């Protein structure tokens, strides 16, 4: 992973500068943003309303409309970035969708192991004023990058997708009314969670070792000439914001309507990946929408307080975009 810039300023200042061109994934490996792993300050006056409990043997944050189950609701999976299940901001984001009539299940994708430095980021940070301070900060940033590389190696799709399948199966049982009322399960995802919305929206061969990986050897009992069974999609429609670790291949087998919230000049979700995804969805006649938000940092769409009014307005607009997409499908 390429070294990140020294974290010596408030995140919204990132939006005021032109980021360096993203390196090719083939050359640099997967990259993540500080905003995928660190929360903004919690919005004033807001606190989580749901509960953490087990569902299908997996820890989830569960939040429901106040009128449920008296009034019909729909089932929504919310897939987080690296800040994970216990992030207050992620829980508040889930509550916002619950207030709009969704039973929201936010699974612990990382099995109790959120990304390093998943703590609230101060509203402002003091610039380093000496060479020694700069050196210390650079050394700390290099260490964080190493820890993040190790964390990503622990949490691959081979680990996360089985978690999601367990949760989906449990939702289809316990919340069959909400799944049925919506005609399926909906999903929203932020940062890392955004990529898993794409994977849940895809169809693959059941024999694949991973969603984009190689095929397993043919099963002799099943017969060499037997066509591989298909698996997925698992959701009815999906919306994702500033996705992370996405490759063009992740758009290749999409089967359900998708809405994308993107950041202009985002080095973590570069333009070439976005345009390749748009081309793939257009060629397959998949219903989709893509909105690019200028002047905002990666991670802006997750609940969190920003001093910059433009970022606050973009955050509200992105939420409305995602909500409308779910409601319309």
The reported pLDDT for the residue numbered 149 is 73
Tell me the angle at which helices 309-328 and 88-98 cross, rounded to the nearest 10 degrees: 50
Q: Residues 237, 202: contact at Cβ < 8 Å?
A: no
Residue 312, φ and ψ in degrees, nearest 5: -60, -45
Calculate the alpha carbon distances from 39 to 11, 232, 281 in Å.
Answer: 10, 32, 32
**Tokens of residue 35, six digits:** 């905003």
Helices (H), the chain: 25-28, 34-37, 88-98, 131-154, 157-174, 176-182, 192-200, 271-283, 309-328
d(CA 31, CA 246): 10
Q: What is the dihedral of CA 81, 82, 88, 93, to 10 degrees?
A: 0
Residue 223's Cβ-count burial label (10 Å; 0-12, 13-18, 19+) is exposed
**Tokens of residue 265, six digits:** 């000049």
Query: What's the distance, CA 202 to chain centroid?
Result: 16
**Tokens of residue 69, six digits:** 């189950």
The reported pLDDT for the residue numbered 10 is 41
**Selection from 242, 84, 240, 97 nearest residue 163 by Cα:** 84
d(CA 322, CA 289): 10
The reported pLDDT for the residue numbered 58 is 97
Please name the residue that has the structure tokens 């994702």: 240
The reported pLDDT for the residue numbered 145 is 64
- Blockwise average pLDDT, block size 10, the chain, 329 residues: 36 42 41 68 91 97 95 96 92 97 96 72 46 54 62 82 96 97 97 96 70 44 55 95 94 96 94 96 97 95 94 97 98
CATH topology of domain 11-211+228-328: Rossmann fold (3.40.50)
The reported pLDDT for the residue numbered 16 is 43
Q: Listing from the earlier edge strand, what are the strands of the sheet with 258-263? A: 51-55, 58-63, 102-107, 74-79, 185-190, 237-241, 258-263, 288-293
The reported pLDDT for the residue numbered 65 is 96
**Selection from 93, 102, 255, 239 nearest residue 171 by Cα:** 102
The reported pLDDT for the residue numbered 106 is 98
Calculate the alpha carbon distances from 283 to 196, 252, 318 in Å.
Answer: 22, 10, 26
d(CA 77, CA 182): 13
**Selection from 308, 268, 242 nearest residue 11 by Cα:** 308
Break the chain into its structural domains and give their ranges.
11-211+228-328
């Amino acid at each position: 992973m390429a070294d990140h810039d020294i974290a010596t300023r408030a995140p919204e200042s990132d939006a005021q500068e032109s980021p360096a061109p993203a390196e090719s994934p083939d050359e640099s490996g997967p990259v993540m943003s500080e905003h995928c792993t660190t929360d903004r300050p919690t919005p004033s006056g807001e606190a989580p309303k749901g509960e953490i409990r087990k569902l299908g043997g997996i820890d989830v944050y569960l939040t429901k409309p106040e009128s449920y189950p008296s009034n019909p609701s729909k089932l929504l999976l919310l897939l987080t970035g690296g800040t994970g299940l216990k992030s207050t901001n992620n829980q508040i984001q889930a509550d916002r969708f619950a207030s709009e009539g969704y039973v929201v299940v936010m699974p612990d994708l990382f099995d109790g192991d959120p990304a390093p430095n998943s703590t609230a980021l101060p509203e402002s940070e003091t610039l380093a004023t000496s060479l020694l301070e700069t050196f210390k900060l650079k050394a700390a940033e290099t260490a964080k990058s190493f820890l993040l590389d190790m964390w990503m190696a622990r949490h691959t799709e081979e680990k996360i997708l089985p978690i999601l399948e367990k949760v989906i199966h449990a939702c289809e049982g316990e919340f069959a009314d909400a799944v049925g009322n919506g005609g399926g399960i909906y999903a929203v995802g932020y940062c890392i969670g955004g990529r898993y919305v794409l994977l849940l929206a895809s169809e693959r061969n059941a024999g694949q070792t991973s969603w984009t990986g190689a095929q397993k050897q043919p099963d002799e009992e099943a017969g060499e000439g037997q066509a591989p069974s298909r698996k997925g999609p698992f959701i009815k429609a999906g919306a994702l914001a500033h996705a992370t670790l996405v490759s063009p291949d992740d758009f290749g087998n999409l089967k359900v309507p998708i809405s994308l919230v993107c950041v202009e000049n985002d080095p973590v979700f570069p333009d070439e990946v976005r345009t390749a995804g748009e081309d793939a969805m257009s060629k397959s006649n998949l219903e989709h929408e893509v909105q690019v938000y200028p002047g905002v940092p990666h991670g802006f769409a997750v609940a969190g307080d920003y001093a910059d009014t433009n970022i606050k307005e973009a955050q509200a607009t992105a939420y409305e975009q995602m909500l409308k997409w779910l409601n319309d499908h």
